[in-house]
Amino acid sequence: MHLAHDPTAAPAPQINFDQFLAVDIRVGTIVAAEPYPEARKPSLKLTIDFGPAIGTKRSSAQIATLYEPAALIGRQVAGVVNFPPRQIGKFMSEVLALGFPDEHGNVVLFAPDRRVPNGARLF
């Protein structure tokens, strides 16, 4: 099991507040979702609206086991918006949609429990 998926793993080394602030985590609304059958792990291609300052970005997310594309439209999610784009097969993923593993290692998306403006930054 990957360390990040192990709830019994020790915490990561301490970082300072400036290091935390360097990771730009924003909320966005999923405006499109489609299957990505070419991915090695069950994945979906997401298009997420992060508001006027960041715009609409795409993400390849390993969430196809728990989520149907149509059910994701309009849902808010958290994502890291300042990683460099990453090629995932033939797809360019621009943001990292965030989630936590369930008891089987499937990704459960991380989202605010109330609606907030797209582009709002985690602090």
pTM over 0.85: yes
In the beta sheet, which residues pair with residue 27? 78
Residue ranges covered by each domain of the chain: 29-109
- Pairwise CA distance, residues 121 & 101, whole Å: 23
Percentage of residues in the chain having pLDDT higher than 90: 84
pLDDT at 1: 33
Name the CATH superfamily housing domain 29-109.
Nucleic acid-binding proteins (2.40.50.140)
| pLDDT confidence band for 4 (50 / 70 / 90) | low
- Pairwise CA distance, residues 72 & 74, whole Å: 6
Q: Which of 84, 81, 104, 101 is nearest to 92 (CA)?
A: 84
- Pairwise CA distance, residues 62 & 112, whole Å: 20
Q: What is the pLDDT of residues 61-107, one digit of tens each?
A: 999 999 999 999 999 999 999 999 999 888 999 999 999 999 999 99
pLDDT at 41: 85
